[in-house]
Amino acid sequence: MTLRNIFLVARREFAQVVALKSFWLTLLLIPVALAIGPLLGDSLDDEEPTRVVVIDRAGGSAAAALAARFAFEQDRHALQALSRYVRRHKLERADPQAPWAKHDRWYTPADVMAFRAAGGLDAALARIERAKRADIPEFDRPAADYEIVAASGTLATAEGDALASQARRLVQASKEAPKAERADLVLLIGAGYPADPTVRVWAGDQPRASFVAGVQEVLTADLRHRMLVDSGLSPRQALAVQSAAPAIAVTTPPPGGGAREALLVRSIVPLALAYILMMGLMLSGSWMLQGAIEERSKKLLESVLACITPEELMYGKLLGALGIGLSMLTAWLGAAAVVAFATQGAIADVIRPALAPVTSPGAIVTLIYFFAMGYIAISIVFVAIGALADSMSEAQGYLMPVILAILLPVTFLIQAILAGNSGPLVQVLTWVPIWTPFTVLARLGTGISALEVIGAAVVLAAFVALEMILLARLFRQSLLAQGQKPGLKVLIERLRPVAN
Amino acid sequence: MPEPIPVPEMTKRCGGFQMSVLAVRGLTKRFGDVLAVDDLGFAVQPGEIFGFLGGNGAGKTTTLRMVLDIIRPTSGAIEVFGRAPDRRNTGAIGFLPEERGLYSNMSAIEVIAYFGQLKRMTAADARAHGMELLTRFDLAGRAKAKISELSKGMAQKVQLATALVNRPQLLILDEPFSGLDPVNQGLLEEEILRAARGGAAVVFSTHVMQHAERLCQRLLLLRKGRKRFEGTPDEARAQLPSTIDAMAPPAIAELDGVARATERRKLENGLSEWTLDLAPGVSAGDVLQRASARGLPLRRFEERRATLHDVFVHLVGPDALEGESRA
């Protein structure tokens, strides 16, 4: 057996797969998804605030309270986003006393008032700009959630069915209609308010829960304020009662951190590796199978076997398949790394800690070993099937049970890891060689002892060696047995060590 | 039709004895209860074109596969270039299998170079000689075309080039003419003769006697795995006595050496048309001499020698020729 022949076969197998359009589609799928995902997300995000027409026929104070509430929420949202930005880029030195430099709290109205008093978002950004390095990206201003707009003349005065009809027309108008002729929500506070506290809402779609809750909270506060004043409290006292609220201190991990979040984030790459191994195997296995069947159906085997041994052919095919798998892995991980280090924001926040479990030398060795051995362990089954089947349809008959046997437990495994479960299923799968590579790779994020890794590696190596011996016999003895559908008895006979 | 070539001077000698390119002794192969090859022996010399004849299932392909080490014998010995067959011989062997095919998504030159490299050539040498062959086969312009884009005839030429790319010293062709169009049959005959002229031993199996008759210097007839004959085409034809077509009086049927006389038609003047089967060892000249000595008037006396086809049918049986008419 010569390495030269093995490499020649491997190179041809590799080149054959690389020439397939489906290979490039698969290879580019992940990087393209990574590239267009954020763009698609941005484009799908409805940047335009929800337009709310408020008709207040009870004097206007309720409408004013609602407008103030939405403005407050908008400022709190901006403050939270700014705080996260400052923390991510360590910009607290720009103004250590500013609320956005204090991350251990749920921002109260007082914080928001202080933020406003200091000049709001524009003033804060001006201060941050002075402390910011040139390579730190600009703050991405959060879009407003709601825009309160005044009712048009006819709508403001319409009554009964005419009002309902106009409101419906407004909320059902298409997005292309001029702004003045459309709204997402129309809210009517009747002239009988507060005696009749009914508030009517017309919506083109189901209104957001946060909107309904906000309206309810504001108007409840307004009603209670009026009741307190009516019962003898001064407006100031009533306001004080309404404003009484606990200050909630919140300690949060840095972006991408935190116990549960960290566990999930750390498991992303290991799980992705297990998934890539699974997908890569299925795809390259299918390509390899097509190649093997082409060799059989086009009567190529005899010509090839006159030049090289069946073992060289088999190992070459395995090496070619491994090359395909590693190429896909390299391309996908490379794309992820580029995204992690060339991008900023939430994606980088997730990908950087996600890559952490696979960056230590031990983890890299483990990753490469189990990926490669997993590829060989499963690919050899595909190679053997390729030697048995004369056509793709015949191959499917052998392939289906094999794929199900591999995929189903791996699907359960991924679910278990995502749920933070390392119970009996995960433990058992670690030691069953056909699933060992997937399980060990998937567990790299949640933690697996060195002893388990070494033990599983030894078991897997022994399994692959046994597979090589048995399936190489099957491969050798099935290659030229064309047109014969072997039964179980024949298959077992072919596993035995006999001269041709 | 190309001229048969004479057996060249043997160039390879070892210890004073001529060394065969291929030598087979007592070769036997069983597949379970089936005896595919039974105690077979033969040898092929450099520059020789050796025909391996037999019907379907005679054991030709099995024997060639054993020579190529694709399958191993149950017993017996094979020597290729003086040693047991293994892939170290690959670089000196060209092989064209009976069932042919090429990688459809590779170009003609790529597939030739690939097989050249599998036969231990460097990539550059394999490509260069591959291009030479394609040029010779009038396919240089399609060198970069994918196999799937070539016609069947073109693909057959490419397949032949894969067998010849390594300039083999032993060229093994399993039913090489099967499925070839007449143009490519002529091309293949030229290449077989060219290889032999270059000193290569050529072994080809066939059950089409015309090709064997035109090309082979020696041939071997197999039936159910056993050798029925080995020798030159003349020696093969001599296996069957000649027949004579004659226009003569009835007394010709009584001459010594005539084993059987069949009167085909009576003519005037007491003459008839006869077909005479001669006894073993008797030549047409002997019978003519005896007829002259008896003063028999002969209007026609024509010897008809046995063809390889006749010999094949005689030794192997008519069933073995199934498919010859198709070839």
Same structural domain, A309 and A189: no
- Residues of chain A in contact with residue B87, where contact means CB-CB under 8 angstroms, are 2, 5, 307-309
Same structural domain, A148 and A239: yes
CA triple A393-A395-A396, angle to 5 deg: 65
User: A490 at the B interface (CB within 8 A)?
Assistant: no
User: A442 at the B interface (CB within 8 A)?
Assistant: no
pLDDT score of B325 = 39
What is the rounded average pLDDT for all residues in chain B?
A: 85
Binary contact (A308, B87; C-beta < 8 A): yes
Binary contact (B68, A308; C-beta < 8 A): no
Q: Is residue A219 part of a domain?
A: yes
Q: Mean pLDDT by 10-residue block, N- to C-terminus, for chain A (500 residues)?
A: 90 90 82 68 66 85 85 88 83 86 78 88 89 80 83 79 85 76 85 84 84 86 85 84 71 52 62 78 81 78 88 89 85 75 59 64 82 86 81 81 84 77 80 88 78 91 90 76 66 67
- The answer, yes or no, to whether residue B172 has pLDDT greater than 60, is yes
Same structural domain, A238 and A287: no
Q: What integer is the mean pLDDT of B252-268?
A: 90
CA distance A291 to chain B (A): 9
User: A290 at the B interface (CB within 8 A)?
Assistant: no
Q: How far is CA B4 from the centre of its chain?
A: 12
- Substitution target from B34, B60, B64, B87 for chain A, most A beta carbons within 10 A: B87
Domain boundary pick from A209, A243, A277: A243
pLDDT score of B2 = 43
Same structural domain, A264 and A410: yes
The CA R_g of chain A, rounded to the nearest whole Å, is: 33
CA distance B119 to chain A (A): 6
**Contact call for residues A350 and A256 (beta carbons, < 8 A):** yes
CA distance B144 to chain A (A): 15
The CA R_g of chain B, rounded to the nearest whole Å, is: 24
Say which DSSP state A494 is in.
H
Binary contact (A306, B90; C-beta < 8 A): yes
Binary contact (B87, A294; C-beta < 8 A): no
CA distance A368 to chain B (A): 30
Instruction: Please indicate whether residue B322 or residue A311 has the higher confidence score (pLDDT).
Output: A311
Binary contact (B103, A12; C-beta < 8 A): yes
Helix orientation angle between B108-118 and B152-164, rounded to the nearest 10 degrees: 30
Amino acid in position A468 = M
Cα(B177)–Cα(B80) distance, integer angstroms? 24
Q: Is residue A253 part of a domain?
A: no
Cα(B193)–Cα(B216) distance, integer angstroms? 10
- The answer, yes or no, to whether residue B314 has pLDDT greater than 50, is yes
User: A364 at the B interface (CB within 8 A)?
Assistant: no
Binary contact (B115, A303; C-beta < 8 A): yes
**Contact call for residues B53 and B222 (beta carbons, < 8 A):** yes
Q: What integer is the mean pLDDT of B183-188?
A: 88
Cα(B133)–Cα(B127) distance, integer angstroms? 10
**Contact call for residues B228 and B39 (beta carbons, < 8 A):** no
Closest CA to A468 of A479, A458, A460: A460
Amino acid in position B83 = R
Say which DSSP state A144 is in.
P
Q: Per CATH, which fold does B13-237 belong to?
A: Rossmann fold (3.40.50)
**Contact call for residues B39 and B76 (beta carbons, < 8 A):** yes
pLDDT score of A43 = 62
Confidence of residue B94 (pLDDT cuts 50, 70, 90): very high
CA distance A317 to chain B (A): 14
Same structural domain, A390 and A294: yes
Q: How far is CA A270 from the centre of its chain?
A: 13
CA distance A499 to chain B (A): 7
- The answer, yes or no, to whether residue B109 has pLDDT greater than 50, is yes
Same structural domain, A178 and A316: no
User: A298 at the B interface (CB within 8 A)?
Assistant: yes
pLDDT tens-digit readout, B224-245: 899 988 999 888 888 787 789 9
Q: Is residue A30 part of a domain?
A: yes
Strand partners, B227: B222
Residue of A16, A300, A302 with shortest CB distance to B102 = A300
- Residues of chain A in contact with residue B102, where contact means CB-CB under 8 angstroms, are 298, 300
Confidence of residue B323 (pLDDT cuts 50, 70, 90): very low
Same structural domain, A273 and A332: yes
Cα(A314)–Cα(A305) distance, integer angstroms? 11
Q: Where are the domains of chain B?
A: 13-237, 243-305
3-state secondary structure of A482: coil
Residue of A nearest to B90 (CA): A307
Strand partners, B226: B223
Q: What φ, ψ does residue B278 adopt, rounded to 5°? A: -90, 155
Closest CA to B247 of B197, B185, B299, B211: B299
Binary contact (A306, B95; C-beta < 8 A): yes
- Residues of chain B in contact with residue A317, where contact means CB-CB under 8 angstroms, are none
Residue of B nearest to A12 (CA): B114
- Residues of chain B in contact with residue A7, where contact means CB-CB under 8 angstroms, are none
CB-based contacts of A72: which residues, under 8 Å, 6+ apart?
Answer: A109, A112
Instruction: Please indicate whether residue B102 or residue A419 has the higher confidence score (pLDDT).
Output: B102
- Residues of chain A in contact with residue B70, where contact means CB-CB under 8 angstroms, are 302, 305-306, 480, 500
**Contact call for residues A446 and A265 (beta carbons, < 8 A):** no
Closest CA to B204 of B187, B223, B183, B218: B218
Q: Is residue A252 part of a domain?
A: no
Cα(B203)–Cα(B63) distance, integer angstroms? 11
Binary contact (A307, B100; C-beta < 8 A): no
Residue of A nearest to B173 (CA): A303
Q: Which domain holds residue A87?
A: 47-243
pLDDT score of A59 = 81
- In B59-98, the DSSP E strands lie at 75-80, 93-96
3-state secondary structure of A487: coil
Same structural domain, A313 and A426: yes
Q: Is residue A248 part of a domain?
A: no
Q: Is residue A106 part of a domain?
A: yes
Binary contact (A303, B117; C-beta < 8 A): no
- Residues of chain B in contact with residue A480, where contact means CB-CB under 8 angstroms, are 65, 70-71
Confidence of residue B73 (pLDDT cuts 50, 70, 90): very high
Instruction: Please indicate whether residue B11 or residue A170 has the higher confidence score (pLDDT).
Output: A170
Closest CA to A265 of A366, A340, A341: A340
pLDDT score of A40 = 64
3-state secondary structure of A500: coil
The correct answer on CATH 3.30.70 for the domain covering B243-305 is: yes
Q: How many CB atoms lie within 10 A of CB B217?
A: 20
- The answer, yes or no, to whether residue B13 has pLDDT greater than 50, is no
Closest CA to B240 of B221, B226, B254: B221
Residue of B100, B104, B118 with shortest CB distance to A8 = B118
Q: Which two tokens stand for residue B145?
A: 């075309």
pLDDT score of B51 = 92
Q: Please, what's the b/e burial string for A342-357 (b: 16 or more CB within 10 A of its CB; e: otherwise)?
A: ebeeebbbbbebbbbb
pLDDT score of A218 = 86
Q: Which of residues 6-45 of A touch B (CB under 8 A)?
A: 8, 12, 16, 19
pLDDT score of B10 = 38
User: A3 at the B interface (CB within 8 A)?
Assistant: no
- Dihedral (CA of B142, B148, B151, B153) sign: positive
Domain boundary pick from A213, A243, A273: A243
Q: Which two tokens stand for residue B131?
A: 């291009």
Q: Which residue has the tokens 């210097």?
A: B217
Q: Is residue A249 part of a domain?
A: no
CA distance B68 to chain A (A): 6
Strand partners, A393: none
- Dihedral (CA of B203, B208, B213, B214) sign: negative
Helix orientation angle between B123-136 and B108-118, rounded to the nearest 10 degrees: 130
Total structural domains in chain A?
2
pLDDT score of A455 = 92
Q: Which two tokens stand for residue A424?
A: 């009996």
pLDDT score of A181 = 75
CB-based contacts of B7: which residues, under 8 Å, 6+ apart?
Answer: B45, B47, B48, B217
Binary contact (B102, A306; C-beta < 8 A): no
Cα(A385)–Cα(A289) distance, integer angstroms? 7
Strand partners, A56: A189
Q: How many CB atoms lie within 10 A of CB A377?
A: 23
Same structural domain, A469 and A376: yes
3-state secondary structure of B304: strand
**Contact call for residues B229 and B41 (beta carbons, < 8 A):** no
**Contact call for residues A392 and A287 (beta carbons, < 8 A):** no
Residues of chain B whose beta carbon is less than 8 angstroms from a beta carbon of chain A are 65, 68, 70-72, 87, 90, 93, 95-97, 99-106, 114-115, 117-119, 162
pLDDT score of A8 = 95
Residue of B95, B99, B114 with shortest CB distance to A299 = B99
Binary contact (A299, B118; C-beta < 8 A): no
Same structural domain, A351 and A371: yes
- Substitution target from A11, A300, A390 for chain B, most B beta carbons within 10 A: A300
pLDDT tens-digit readout, A89-124: 788 888 888 888 887 677 888 888 888 888 888 899
Instruction: Please indicate whether residue B18 or residue A74 has the higher confidence score (pLDDT).
Output: A74
Binary contact (B118, A308; C-beta < 8 A): yes
Q: Long-range CB contacts (< 8 A, 24+ apart) of A479-488?
A: A479/A296, A479/A301, A479/A305, A479/A310, A479/A313, A479/A387, A480/A301, A480/A302, A480/A305, A480/B65, A480/B70, A480/B71, A482/A296, A482/A390, A483/A390, A485/A394, A486/A388
The number of C-beta contacts closer than 8 angstroms across A and B is: 66
Same structural domain, A339 and A442: yes
